[in-house]
Amino acid sequence: MERLSPISLQETCELREPKIIKVDSKELQKNKVVITSEETIKTQKIVSCGRPAIDENIIIVDPETALPCPPETVGEIWVSGASIAQGYWQDEDATEKAFNAYLPDNKKPFLRTGDLGFLHQGELFVTGRIKDIIIIRGRNYYPQDIETTVKNCHPALRDHSCVATSITSEEGEKLVIIGEIKRKLEQKINFQEIVNTIRSHVSRKHGIQTNKIVLVKQGSIPKTSSGKIQRLAGKKAYLENNISIIFQEDSSEKNTKESQEKTMSHSIELNKTQKRKDKKLSELISWLRNYANENINSRLIDERRCIPPHIVLDFGNQGLLGMQVPLEYGGLGLNNGETMNVMEQLGAIDTTLSLFVGLNNVLGIRPLLNFGSPSLREELLPRLATGRELAAFALTEPSAGSNPQAIASSAIPQSPEQWIINGTKIWSGSAAWAGIINVFVQEKDSQGNFQGISGFTVKRGTPGLKQGPEALTMGMRGMVQNTVYFNDVAVDASQKLGNTGEGMKVAQDAMMYGRLTIAAASVGGMKRCAQLWHRYSSRRQISTVRLLENPLVLARLNGLTAAITTIETLVTSITTWLDQGQEVPVEAYAVCKMAAPEFYWEAADNLVQFLGGRGYIESNMAPQILRDARILRIFEGPTETLTAFLGSRVIYQPESFKTFLCDTLSMPEIYERFEQTVQQIQDYRQSPFTEETKTKNWTAILCGEVAMWGVLLAVLEAKAMSSTSESLNRAIAWTKEHFQQKIAQGFAQTPDELVISSANKTTELISDYENAIGNLEQTLAGEDREVDEFLRLGDSETGRLGDWETGRLGDWETGRLGDWETRRNIENWLMNWLGEKLNLSPQNIDPKQAFADYGIDSVMAVELAQDLQEWLGYTQQLEASLAWNFPTIKSLAQYLSTIESEDEIVEEKFAMNDSKIALNGQSQGTSSTENPEIISDISNYSEDEIQTAINQEMAELESLLKGGYPS
Ligand SMILES: Cc1cc2nc3c(=O)[nH]c(=O)nc-3n(C[C@H](O)[C@H](O)[C@H](O)COP(=O)(O)OP(=O)(O)OC[C@H]3O[C@@H](n4cnc5c(N)ncnc54)[C@H](O)[C@@H]3O)c2cc1C
């Protein structure tokens, strides 16, 4: 029987503007019609054939029982009416079956069309052909949907030249896909790769396994004269071996043929290993839970600002400090999924402890595992894996935080295989306790030319390595974060991480993975918040009802559960890809770090709020959780930096994001929605800024936020393709709403935008507050923490003072002004230069503000480089990109003050300035109040007067040193 196509069915219906509806695809597989207004990957558009004509009667019937289907159900389309033919020419049997179908009332005969469809609001919708439908494990799969997925998944496959069908085997129906390969690509492509791609796309999108994939020559699949594929003819040709096969793979055969034995023994081994590992993991998790209940007192850790030694030792003995270190080095050899399970558990127990363990494993050990030399690994991994030594990571510097490229520490070769490291790192976690520190520096050649950023592992006890003061952090109090000084620290080639110039690659690799780890720990932390919040609101009565019954509490608490499922799904998806050897794009890691800490922070804040006064009492844990959760939004890339990064990636280098959403997650619809939004934001949205750079930054932030929600939604939808659950559906609904709200926000002004002013106007505005509240800075001395100078080692003997910045003893001995003074002079010059260009007082220039924020464009950047070069007296040309590479006055000054090759010139320059240190309050060339005053002509003063001025200046500097870090 010829298929009654929608076109011919249309002829039995009134012609009108075609109506298109959207239905839930999963429900459709079960023959249910669930209409939705959404357009997502889980919905499907169906075009109406119109309303039946007046003289036609169309009914929907269960093809097996011949009974009418309930409304909104898919069934066979039966038609009766005057325009229906009498039957097939000279084929009574076929006529009887098709043209004389009756309902139980036996009133009139119907034509069985063989098509499936449904009626909705009186209109007919056709979903497919009964004979084509693929029924696997009770679900209906429409071949055209699978064919569309296959067609889009690989460029070597021809358009409209694929057949999805099924064959019957002993185990039931099996899916077979036959696809034509483009002729011109036949010789050039890897067929196995195409087959793998088809398999994974069909599995992700439709949740079924493809048993057989057959790649055939162009033109092999039979088609109608109008170019439509003939599925049944295609299937027949394949079954009868009548088709030109290039390559085929049968997943069941693959497992049973000659490789069977090998596969079997291998899989037995794998199973054994997996079982051992599962056992090890579950034992570890259960050990952690018992240990937490009996041996950890988080309050004490927090109050005493120290993790007790027994915890470090016990964690080390359990292997927690070297989770991914291979077994042969004494590690646990856990895979990614297992590691994140442990991180989640630790996050629930104590966020500080999870960060301590995460830092050691990820920022400390991972660079060694992935980039360390064999000798370094041999030497260090056994000690690190068992916690005999701890590992730290030192990237951040005073002028290089969210922009790590601006680091100024350097490594200069002493011989071909040895370097000398100098520099200062701040807030390095566990550094003061660590046996090794991974440090990232500018590597220079023997002429002082920059070679790129390189990483080195520096061992404790190396001369010149000095631990500086601990920062008193808001949270993470149990862990030490301290300054580290590198004063002529010698390292050799075996200590290098990766090659010259690969330092950022090494650091990024660790930080990307760190972002995943933070997300996993956040899941644990959020679950703990949910438990405590729920516990309190279940017990607390407010106005005769339990707090838990309150709609606001229920809404917020359920929002948290949706957030937990969302991040959990993201983490599990990433670890699954990693454990399968798939590459994970940077966008996915960025989303981990953007979303999880923000959700965790909200959970912690809600916990404090909904516990009422108890939320503010330290013994109830909520304040500690809040403090610990807060740092996650800042380190390892602050949320805003990553939002801007993600936004720029998706706007200017969208390929990786597109591949991630469309191919890895099979969610092209979400990508399309996102792509349209980005375009619309760029085209229509009024930026509150006039300068191009600012508009670009602003657009990147807006698009970054939309991209984050897009990724979260795509990950959840992809997961729903293979398995579904109530919590997953709730998380999808929650994320979808956020995604849509973010899109809408892209087109609306936020209240903050309405009041945006320039940096200068903002400074003026805030300066006025001084009239209202004054300028406050408490100076009342606290307890004396310094060792008396008569007792201090070194100082009393040498009479020298330590340098607060470098930790070096002795710079002051020479009477020469060190790095700090050089930098301050360069800063002053830059502030004056910028003030002059912008017609602003230098006091109003913030040395920590980006040049770009002051509107420096590429022309001004060239001018700046030339003027600087001239002022510094450099012979070597300064790059115009200087202002971008070192984006603030502080970072540029820091960099320039450490250019070794120009040392002499810089020193000469400042030697000149030194000689100009003045006696009176006037200044020359600088107007900063914190600067040494300068006079134009020192000949007016006696030598004694000049000496007195120098002494005064030195005394001032000394007092600054004691006071700590100048702002
Ligand atoms: C407790 C603690 C532990 C740490 N541990 C380590 C460690 O072990 N090793 C290590 O190397 N470092 C460590 N750090 C440093 C940490 O990584 C940095 O603090 C972080 O990268 C931010 O740098 P910054 O503090 O210099 O902030 P800045 O670079 O000054 O940025 C300030 C803020 O500006 C905003 N911002 C930045 N970029 C943008 C943008 N493009 N658009 C809009 N807004 C933006 C963000 O809100 C950001 O928080 C630690 C820090 C802390 C506080």
The 10s digit of each residue's pLDDT in 492-505 is 999 999 999 999 99
In a mutational test of the pocket of ligand 1, which residue from 437, 477, 598, 635 has the highest number of ligand atoms less than 8 Å from its CB? 635
Judged by DSSP in three states, 20 sits in strand
Q: What is the pLDDT of residues 667-726, one digit of tens each?
A: 999 999 999 999 888 887 777 888 888 889 999 999 999 999 999 999 999 999 888 899
pLDDT band at residue 620 under the 50/70/90 scheme: very high
SS3 letters across 788-806: CCCCCCCHHHHCCCECCCC
Q: For 747-897, where are the alpha helices, taking DSSP H only? A: 751-754, 759-767, 769-773, 795-798, 819-838, 858-872, 882-885, 889-897
Lowest-pLDDT choice from 151-155, 161-165, 911-915 = 911-915
Counting from 1 in the atom list of ligand 1, the atom nearest the Cα of 440 is 11
Single out the residue of 371, 486, 467, 506 nearest to residue 419, CA to CA: 486
CA 305 to ligand 1 centroid distance, Å = 22
Q: How far apart are CA 193 and CA 157, in angstroms?
A: 12
* Phi and psi angles of residue 809, each rounded to the nearest 5 degrees, phi first: -90, 140
pLDDT of the residue at 98: 78
User: Is the CB of residue 703 less than 8 Å from the CB of residue 644?
Assistant: no
| Phi, psi (degrees; rounded to nearest 5) at 413 | -70, 140
Q: Can you list the domains of the chain with their CATH numbers?
A: 6-129 (2.30.38.10), 134-254 (3.30.300.30), 638-756 (no CATH), 816-963 (1.10.1200.10)
The residue with tokens 């207004």 is 37
Q: Is 70 exceeded by the pLDDT of residue 432?
A: yes
Share of the chain above pLDDT 70, in %: 85
Q: How far is the CA of 609 from the centre of ligand 1 (A)?
A: 27
Question: Pairing relation of β-strands 212-216 and 172-181?
Answer: parallel
CB 894, CB 408: distance < 8 Å: yes
176: phi then psi, degrees, rounded to nearest 5: -125, 135
With H, G, I as helix, E, B as strand and everything else as coil, classify residue 807: coil
| Cβ partners under 8 Å of residue 632, min gap 6 | 351, 518, 522, 596, 597, 600, 601
Do residues 501 and 444 make contact, with C-beta atoms less than 8 angstroms apart?
A: no
Report the 3 state secondary structure along 704-733: HHHHHHHHHHHHHHHHHHHCCCHHHHHHHH
User: What residue's CA is closest to ligand 1, atom 4?
Assistant: 427
Q: Quick check: 896 pLDDT over 50?
A: yes
The rounded Å distance from CA 394 to ligand 1 centre is: 13
Mean pLDDT computed over 216-225: 90
Pick the residue whose CA is nearest to atom 39 on ligand 1: 641
* Rg, Å, the chain Cα set: 35
- Ligand 1 centroid – CA 508 distance (Å): 15
Residue in the structure block whose two tokens are 């100009």: 916
CA atoms of 297 and 308, how far apart (whole Å): 9
545-567: per-residue pLDDT in tens?
A: 999 999 999 999 999 999 999 99
Residue with CA at minimum distance from ligand 1 atom 20: 635
pLDDT the model gives residue 419: 97
- In the reported structure, the alpha carbon of residue 644 is separated from the centroid of ligand 1 by a whole-number distance in angstroms of 14
Report CA(753)–ligand 1 centroid distance (Å).
24
Sign, Cα dihedral of 112, 117, 120, 125: negative
Q: What is the average per-residue pLDDT within 876-894? A: 82
Instruction: Give the residue, by CA position, lying nearest to ligand 1 atom 44.
Output: 640
Ligand 1 centroid to Cα of residue 638, in Å, is 6
Q: What is the DSSP letter of 445?
A: -
pLDDT of residue 676: 92
Cα 506 to averaged position of ligand 1 atoms, centre (Å): 18
* Range 479-485 average pLDDT: 97
Output the average pLDDT for the chain: 85
Q: What is the pLDDT of residue 849?
A: 82
Contact predicate 112/101, CB 8 Å: yes
Residue with CA at minimum distance from ligand 1 atom 7: 428
Residue 81 vs residue 78, higher pLDDT: 78
Rounded mean pLDDT of 222-240?
87
Residues 6+ apart with CB under 8 A from 536: 547, 610, 611, 614
Q: Relative to the CA of 473, which ligand 1 atom is closest?
A: 1
The answer to whether residues 346 and 354 touch, using CB atoms and an 8 Å cutoff, is yes
Residue nearest atom 38 in ligand 1 by C-alpha distance: 641
* pLDDT at 8 (0 to 100): 52
For the CA of 633, the closest atom of ligand 1 is 49
Dist. CA 348 → ligand 1 center (Å): 24
Instruction: State in Å: Cα 438 to ligand 1 middle.
Output: 18
Q: Which atom of ligand 1 is nearest to the CA of 392?
A: 8
Ligand 1, residues 361, 441, 634: which to mutate, most atoms within 8 A of Cβ? 634
Residue 202, pLDDT score: 83
Non-local (6+) Cβ contacts of 229 within 8 A are 147, 160, 161, 162, 163, 221, 222, 223
| pLDDT for residue 925 is more than 60 | no
Instruction: State the pLDDT confidence band at 959, using cuts at 50, 70 and 90.
Output: low
pLDDT in tens, 847-866: 888 887 788 877 888 889 88
CA of residue 157 to ligand 1 center, whole Å: 47
What is residue 952's predicted lDDT score, i.e. its pLDDT?
A: 66
What is the rounded average pLDDT of the residues 811-830?
A: 65
Kindly report the backbone phi and psi dihedral angles of residue 243, in degrees, each rounded to the nearest multiple of 5, phi listed first: -140, 145
Contact status, residue 591 vs residue 704, Cβ threshold 8 Å: no
Residues with Cβ within 8 Å of residue 561, at least 6 apart in sequence:
530, 727, 730
- Residue closest via CA to ligand 1's atom 26 equals 401
For residue 359, the ligand 1 atom closest to its alpha carbon is: 8
- Which residue's C-alpha comes closest to atom 47 of ligand 1? 640
**How many residues are there in the chain?**
967
Ligand 1 atom nearest 404 alpha carbon: 21
Asked whether the beta carbons of 337 and 279 are under 8 A apart, the reply is no
Tell me the CA–centroid distance for residue 786 and ligand 1, in Å. Answer: 29
For the residues 165-185, what does the mean pLDDT come to?
86
Whether the Cβ atoms of residue 649 and residue 656 lie closer than 8 Å to each other: yes
Supply the pLDDT for residue 924. 36
Q: Higher pLDDT residue, 510 or 211?
A: 510
Pocket test for ligand 1, best of 641, 651, 888 (most atoms within 8 A of CB): 641
Nearest CA to ligand 1 atom 14: 427
Q: Whose CA is nearest to atom 29 of ligand 1?
A: 402
The CA distance from 839 to 510, in Å, is 44
CA distance readout (Å), 295 to 161, 287, 311, 430: 65, 11, 8, 21
Q: How confident is the model at residue 907 (pLDDT cuts 50, 70, 90)?
A: very low
Lowest-pLDDT choice from 249-263, 468-482, 510-524, 723-737? 249-263
The Å distance, Cα 405 to ligand 1 centre, comes to: 13
- pLDDT at residue 650 greater than cutoff 80: yes
Token pair recorded at residue 558 = 């359920």
Residue 637 CA to ligand 1 center (angstroms) comes to 6
Burial of 500 (0-12, 13-18, 19+ CB in 10 A): middle
Decide if 69 contacts 119 (C-beta within 8 A): no
Please tell me the residue having the least CA distance from ligand 1 atom 1: 473
Give the pLDDT score at 305.
Answer: 96
Give the pLDDT score at 830.
93
Residue 391: which pLDDT band, with cuts at 50, 70 and 90?
Answer: very high
Q: Whose CA is nearest to atom 35 of ligand 1?
A: 640
Contacts of 654 (CB under 8 A, 6+ apart): 675
Atom 9, ligand 1: which residue's CA is nearest? Answer: 428
Ligand 1 nearest atom to the CA of residue 636, by list position: 17
What does the alpha-carbon distance between residue 375 and residue 129 come to, in Å, rounded to a whole number?
66
Contact status, residue 302 vs residue 478, Cβ threshold 8 Å: yes
Q: HSE of 771 in the Cβ direction (CA atoms, 13 Å)?
A: 5
Q: How many CA atoms lie within 13 A of 259 on its CB side?
A: 8
Burial 900-926 (b: 16+ CB within 10 A, else e): ebbeeebeebbeebbebbbbeeebeeb
Mean pLDDT of 462-480: 96
CA of 403 to the centre of ligand 1 (A): 8
CA gap 69, 76 in Å, rounded: 9
How far apart are alpha carbons 604 and 475 in whole angstroms?
Answer: 13
With a Cβ cut-off of 6 Å, ligand 1 is lined by: 393-396, 401-402, 427-429, 473, 476, 481, 631, 634-635, 638, 640-641, 644
- On the question of pLDDT at 967 being above 70, the answer is no
CA of 509 to the centre of ligand 1 (A): 18
User: With contact defined as beta carbons under 8 Å apart, do 733 and 561 qualify?
Assistant: no
909: Cα separation from own chain's centroid: 46
CA 402 to ligand 1 center in whole angstroms:
5
